[in-house]
Amino acid sequence: MVKRKIFAELMEGVTAMGAQRNGKLTLRSYKVKAARVPRVKGL
Cβ-contact 27, 17 below 8 angstroms: yes
How does residue 4 score in pLDDT terms, banded at 50, 70 and 90? very high
Cβ-contact 27, 16 below 8 angstroms: yes
pLDDT at 43 over 70: no
Cβ-contact 14, 8 below 8 angstroms: no
Cβ-contact 25, 16 below 8 angstroms: yes
Mean pLDDT of 29-41: 92
- List CB contacts of 11: < 8 A, sequence separation 6 or more: none
What is the value of pTM for the model shown?
0.57
Query: What integer pLDDT is reported at residue 36 of this predicted model?
Result: 94
pLDDT digits (tens, 9 = 90+) for 7-34: 999 999 999 999 999 999 998 888 999 9
